[in-house]
C-alpha cells in the first residue's frame, strides 16, 4: 500500500480510465490536469482517433482544454487492453443500461472486471464509477479481483465513487462537484481518497461501497419521483382547467419546504429513467418492493402518450385528424442544449404519432441525424418555415430555438416545456402540457 500511495502522491502512478464517454472523458481530463499521465481505454475507434488528435467529441469538454494535454502526452487513448498491465490505477466508467426486460445489464462491468483481472498485478487500485445496484462492487468486482489470491486492502484496493455528471451544466463540472467515495475496506478508502483528493475539490467519504452505490440511486430516484409528481400534477391541472407551470412557479416562491420540479414530455438520458430501476430490481431480488420508484416510472413512462393525446386534441380543435397531418418535433435531445438523445421521449412520441398515420419530421440544431429505436432520419434546417406543418411539438427547448419566429409562423404549437410563456403569440394556437 505504501508504494502505491507514494506513486499517487508523487503523481507518477499510471492511470487508465475504461470508457471515454460523458463520464470518462471529463474525468480523464481532470486526471491529466492534476499532473498524472492518463490513458483512456476505449473500444470506439472514432473516439480513440478524436482524442489522440486532441479533438473533443463531448460538448462539456472543450477541445481547447483537451488538446494541450494530448500534445504534452499526458493524455491519450487506445483500444488495446494491454495498457492495464502497467496501470497502477484503473477507473471504470462503462455504460450500465437496462436489458429488454428492464433488468440491469451488467455485461460491460463484467467485461471490464474480467479484463482488469487478466492483467492484474500487486498494488493496483480499481475504482468503479458506473451507476449500478447496491452490492455490485462487493459481489462482482471484488471476487474477480481477489480470485488470484490477492488480499483486499493489502495487494488489491477496490472502491466505488458514483459519477455526478450533469451534461450542459456550466456551473458544476467534475472538479467542483463534491465526490462521494466508498472503499471495500478502510485501506481501500484511504488509497482511493489519496487519488481523488488531487482531482476533486471536496470528497465525501462514506462507510462502504454499498453506501456509495446507494447514494447515487437516492439522488436519481429523488429526481425521478419528484418529476413523476410534477407530471401527474400537470395532467390533473389540465383536467381542472389550471395551468400547471403557473401553479409550480407560484408554489416555488415559498422560501421553505418546497423545491420546484417541472413537468415534461417524459424522462430521458443515461441516468434518471434507468438508475432507479436498478434499485427496484435489487429490492425484488430481496422479495421487497420499491413502490415510489415503480409508480414514478409508470407516470413518467406514460408522458409521451399524454403528449400525443394533447397533440391529437389540438388538431381535433382545428378539425384535423392526426392521420395525414404534417407534424414537426422540435428537439430530440433528452434535455436542452445537449446533443445526447439516449432514452429521449421524442422517439416514443414520434413512433406513436406515426402509428396514428401522421407524417413526422424533426428539427434539432445539435443533432443532425438520429438512429434510435428503429428511427433513422435527418434534422431539418433551422431556417425551415414552421408554417408548412399542421402542428409543431416542442419536446426539447434548446436555446437555439427561434421562439419568436416559431410563434409567428406555426399554425399550431404543442409546448411541452412552457418555452413560449414569455413570447408574444396567439394563445389560441398554443397547447400546453
d(CA 394, CA 294): 27
Give one word for 153, left, alpha or beta, with left for phi > 0 and alpha for psi -120 to 50.
left
SS (H, E, C) 360-405: EEEECCCCCEEEECCEEEECCCCCCCHHHCCEEEECCCCCCCCHHH
Q: Which residue has the cell 420499491?
A: 290
The DSSP symbol for 303 reads H
The verdict on whether 38 is a catalytic residue reads no
Count Cβ atoms within 10 A of the Cβ of residue 99 and give its class: 0-12 exposed, 13-18 middle, 19 or more buried.
exposed
Residue 139: how many other CB atoms lie within 10 Å? 12
Classify the C-alpha dihedral 11-12-13-18 as positive or negative. Answer: positive
d(CA 264, CA 273): 13
d(CA 216, CA 275): 8
Q: Which residue has the cell 392526426?
A: 322
DSSP E strands: which ranges in 156-304? 156-160, 179-183, 203-206
Catalytic residue among 38, 93, 188, 271: 271
> Which of 351, 358, 352, 361 is CA-nearest to residue 328?
361
Q: 194 near 5, Cβ under 8 Å?
A: yes
Q: 245 near 432, Cβ under 8 Å?
A: yes
CA 169 to chain centre: 12
Count Cβ atoms within 10 A of the Cβ of residue 415 and give its class: 0-12 exposed, 13-18 middle, 19 or more buried.
buried
Query: Residue 355 is inside which H or E element, if any?
Result: helix 345-355
CA dihedral in degrees (182, 187, 191, 194; nearest 10)?
80
User: Please, how many CA atoms are within 13 Å of residue 36, restricted to the half-sphere of its CB?
Assistant: 26
Q: 304 near 273, Cβ under 8 Å?
A: no
Q: 364 near 396, Cβ under 8 Å?
A: yes
The DSSP symbol for 429 reads G
Residues belonging to the active site: 271
Amino acid at each position: 500500500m505504501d508504494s502505491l500511495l507514494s506513486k499517487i502522491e508523487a503523481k507518477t502512478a499510471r492511470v487508465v480510465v475504461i470508457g471515454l464517454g460523458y463520464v470518462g472523458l471529463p474525468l480523464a481530463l481532470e486526471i491529466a490536469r492534476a499532473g498524472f499521465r492518463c490513458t483512456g481505454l476505449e473500444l470506439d475507434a472514432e473516439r480513440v482517433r478524436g482524442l489522440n488528435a486532441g479533438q473533443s467529441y463531448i460538448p462539456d469538454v472543450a477541445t481547447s482544454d483537451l488538446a494541450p494535454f494530448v500534445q504534452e502526452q499526458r493524455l491519450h487513448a487506445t483500444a488495446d487492453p494491454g495498457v492495464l498491465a502497467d496501470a497502477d490505477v484503473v477507473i471504470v466508467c462503462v455504460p450500465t443500461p437496462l436489458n429488454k426486460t428492464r433488468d440491469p445489464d451488467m455485461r460491460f462491468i463484467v467485461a471490464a472486471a474480467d479484463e482488469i483481472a487478466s492483467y492484474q498485478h500487486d498494488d493496483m487500485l480499481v475504482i468503479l464509477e458506473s451507476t449500478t445496484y447496491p452490492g455490485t462492487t462487493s459481489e462482482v468486482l471484488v471476487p474477480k479481483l481477489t480470485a488470484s489470491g490477492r488480499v483486499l486492502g493489502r495487494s488489491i484496493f477496490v472502491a466505488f465513487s458514483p459519477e455526478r455528471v450533469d451534461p450542459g451544466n456550466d456551473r458544476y463540472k467534475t472538479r467542483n462537484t463534491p465526490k462521494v467515495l466508498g472503499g471495500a475496506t478502510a485501506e481501500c478508502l484511504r488509497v482511493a481518497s489519496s487519488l481523488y483528493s488531487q482531482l476533486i475539490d471536496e470528497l465525501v467519504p462514506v462507510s462502504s461501497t454499498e453506501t456509495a452505490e446507494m447514494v447515487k440511486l437516492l439522488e436519481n430516484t429523488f429526481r425521478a419521483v419528484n418529476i413523476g409528481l410534477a407530471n401527474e400534477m400537470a395532467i390533473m391541472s389540465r383536467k381542472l382547467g389550471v395551468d400547471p407551470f403557473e401553479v409550480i412557479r407560484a408554489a416555488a416562491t415559498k422560501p421553505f419546504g418546497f423545491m420546484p420540479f417541472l413537468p415534461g414530455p417524459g424522462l430521458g438520458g443515461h441516468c434518471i429513467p434507468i438508475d432507479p430501476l436498478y434499485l427496484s430490481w435489487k429490492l425484488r431480488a430481496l422479495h421487497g418492493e420499491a413502490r415510489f420508484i415503480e409508480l414514478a416510472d409508470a407516470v413518467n413512462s406514460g408522458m409521451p402518450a399524454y403528449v400525443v393525446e394533447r397533440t391529437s386534441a389540438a388538431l381535433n380543435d382545428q378539425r384535423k385528424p392526426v392521420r395525414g397531418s404534417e407534424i414537426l418535433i422540435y428537439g430530440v435531445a433528452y434535455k436542452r442544449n445537449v446533443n445526447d438523445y439516449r432514452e429521449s421521449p421524442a422517439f416514443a412520441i414520434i413512433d406513436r404519432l406515426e402509428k396514428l398515420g401522421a407524417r413526422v419530421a424533426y428539427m434539432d440544431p445539435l443533432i443532425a441525424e438520429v438512429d434510435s429505436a428503429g428511427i433513422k432520419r435527418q434534422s431539418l434546417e433551422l431556417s425551415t418555415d414552421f408554417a408548412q406543418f399542421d402542428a409543431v411539438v416542442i419536446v426539447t427547448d434548446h436555446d437555439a430555438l427561434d421562439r419568436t419566429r416559431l410563434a409567428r409562423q406555426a399554425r399550431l404549437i404543442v409546448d411541452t416545456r412552457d418555452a413560449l410563456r414569455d413570447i408574444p403569440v396567439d394563445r389560441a394556437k398554443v397547447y400546453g402540457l
